A and B are shown apart, each in its own frame.
Chain A
Amino acid sequence: MKMKYDVVVLGGGAAGMGAAYGAKENGASVLLIERESSTGGVLNQCIHTGFGLQVFKMELSGPEYHEMYSDKMGKVDALYETMVLYIDFKMNKMKAMSTTGMHEIEYGALILATGARERPFEALRIQGTRPAGIFTAGLAQKFVNLENHLPGHKAVIVGSGDIGMIMARRLTLEGVTVEGVYEIMPYPGGLTRNIAQCLIDFNIPLHLSTSVIKVHGKSRLEGVTVTQFENGIPLREKERFIECDTLVASVGLIPENDLVKGKIEMGSDEGIIVDDLMRTNYENVFACGNNVCIHDLVDFATVEGEKAGKNAAIVSKGKELPERAGMITVKEGIRVVSAKYMTATEPFKLYIRVDKPMEIATININGKAIKAVVNARPSEMIEINMDPNKYDLKGKIELSAKGVKR
């Protein structure tokens, strides 16, 4: 089948839905392409609350957010259970496959909203066996929340990322014993809020600077050996064996951009590099959501999506967007930046993550402090209002975060 749309959105998760809405609201014909059988992405399995505070001014669970935003988005042409195999950026065409055959889709503007994948436990190169009973937090969540199956009886959570802590609570409520959460860094990986409501609430210990160093069990997991780490080195004398049949790994999210790898400007974290308009290095290709950088809050992914949608609609109608005028370089203290380039025409919200916890972090543009954050942590994104009326955002902008003691 051959199709042509003003704006094509790849991915129907939180960001993609925002993009579809944003493009539609700005007068473009929109096609949404989604590989699952419905929109929503991970929202469908995130039954906990914490969504919608920005977008709906309500505290919602993932499925509620999804349904509410679907209603807001309204009817949008969509191809479900469809997989894009190839994009030709020169011809503005793509090839997709589904049970009805091959589709050739032409776009005026394209929005990439392909989300992220979880780092699998196997990628950590931990010694030992390779038994059944090892899950990423997202997979365990899918089994429990969508498929009505518990992963096992006694679990160890590796990594204190948000999904891991959420699953610690979920599993405990379902009667699974969660022996503890093990975090190799000296600080937690997820929101402080989740430490309180998922771990402290249920007396689940959080062990920092500790991680799994060996896996035991031939057919099914029988236990793990953990130990404390000092400066990244495991301490042999602190090793101890924990009997368990389930390992849930929450050890990082990685932007999922395999389809465009090598064809579009990407960072070393595998995220697509964009400017303040959510535009990539192609004039008519935009990106939003976790495939740009990993977000804490779903709302921000949706808001980014809406912005991408609006700008994609403008471009698809043949109108021009402002050119890039500034480029952000990181001097020190910052690990993630949500946009690298700026048109410096309108104020926009930039999101950053510091690279280590700082009691007080001063965020600086070209050496000048613009914001101070108390208890800055890598796990919590910091919002910076980049206002071209306040700061000169043209040319090379050096961004840095410096820790200051109280």
Chain B
Amino acid sequence: MKTIEMVCIVCPIGCQMKVELDDEGKFLSVKGNRCPKGEAYARDEVTDPRRVLTSSVKIIGGMLPLASVKTDGTIPKRLIKDAMNLIKSTEVKAPVKAGDKIIENVLNTGINIVATRTVLKNDG
């Protein structure tokens, strides 16, 4: 059995947590979290860490060249690189609204990449 320390990143409070693992590294218990999200985070972190990814996509014909995007949930950390490659090769025509699905079910995670801002069409 061993104890590792980690900081929960789910919200800006950043609870310092102590996680107990068994000899095979499996999650046993957690201390220090101020809410249940911390426990869920700790569980994931020791099995298959997950992250929210924020980035931007290219907009064609918009008032701005980019629209900021995010995953509408966490995706496995190991898929971040591939997700970034998908985002980098995606172009979207304006107009775009916050919440619009840019890439549905990214890499089969069940999570979508959605726009986080509105970009209006550039009417010249």
Q: A interface vs B, CB < 8 Å?
A: 44, 47-50, 53, 59-64, 66-67, 145-148, 173, 191-193, 195-197, 201, 296-297, 374-375, 380
Complex-state Cα separation, A48 to B54, whole angstroms: 6
Chain A residue nearest to B81 (CB atoms) is A173
**Contact: A191 with B54, CB < 8 Å?**
no
Partner of A191, one of B14, B53, B118: B14
Complex-state Cα separation, A67 to B64, whole angstroms: 16
With a CB–CB cut-off of 8 A, which chain B residues contact A192? 7, 14, 16
Closest Cβ of chain B to A39, distance in Å, is 13
Report 23 cross-chain contacts, Cβ distance below 8 Å, ordered by A residue. A44-B117, A47-B69, A48-B54, A49-B54, A50-B11, A60-B116, A61-B54, A61-B117, A63-B116, A64-B116, A145-B68, A146-B64, A148-B65, A173-B80, A192-B7, A193-B7, A193-B12, A195-B7, A196-B7, A197-B51, A201-B77, A297-B12, A380-B14
Chain B, residues 1-15, CB within 8 Å of chain A (1/0): the string is: 000001111111110
With a CB–CB cut-off of 8 A, which chain A residues contact B54? 47-49, 61
Closest Cβ of chain A to B22, distance in Å, is 23
Closest Cβ of chain B to A121, distance in Å, is 25
With a CB–CB cut-off of 8 A, which chain B residues contact A201? 51, 77
Partner of A63, one of B14, B16, B98: B98
List B residues 54-107 near A (Cβ within 8 Å).
Answer: 54-56, 58, 64-66, 68-70, 77, 80, 84, 98
User: B46 an interface residue at 8 Å Cβ cutoff?
Assistant: no
Chain B residue nearest to A193 (CB atoms) is B14
Complex-state Cα separation, A297 to B14, whole angstroms: 12
With a CB–CB cut-off of 8 A, which chain B residues contact A374? 16
With a CB–CB cut-off of 8 A, which chain A residues contact B8? 193
**Contact: B65 with A147, CB < 8 Å?**
yes
**Contact: A63 with B77, CB < 8 Å?**
no
Closest Cβ of chain B to A189, distance in Å, is 14
**Contact: A61 with B68, CB < 8 Å?**
yes
Chain B interface size, as a band, is 20 to 34
User: B52 an interface residue at 8 Å Cβ cutoff?
Assistant: yes
Complex-state Cα separation, A201 to B52, whole angstroms: 12
**Contact: B52 with A67, CB < 8 Å?**
no
Closest Cβ of chain A to B24, distance in Å, is 23
Partner of A47, one of B51, B56, B77: B56
A148 and B66 in contact, given A195-B7, A201-B51 (Cβ under 8 angstroms): yes
Complex-state Cα separation, A296 to B98, whole angstroms: 25
With a CB–CB cut-off of 8 A, which chain A residues contact B84? 173
Complex-state Cα separation, A62 to B68, whole angstroms: 9
**Contact: A196 with B9, CB < 8 Å?**
yes
Partner of B11, one of A59, A61, A173: A59
Q: A64-B98, A148-B66 are in contact. List 10 more A-B contacts (CB 8 A).
A: A44-B117, A49-B70, A63-B117, A67-B117, A192-B7, A193-B9, A193-B11, A196-B7, A197-B9, A297-B12
With a CB–CB cut-off of 8 A, which chain A residues contact B68? 47, 61-63, 145
Complex-state Cα separation, A147 to B84, whole angstroms: 18
Complex-state Cα separation, A277 to B52, whole angstroms: 37
Complex-state Cα separation, A145 to B58, whole angstroms: 11
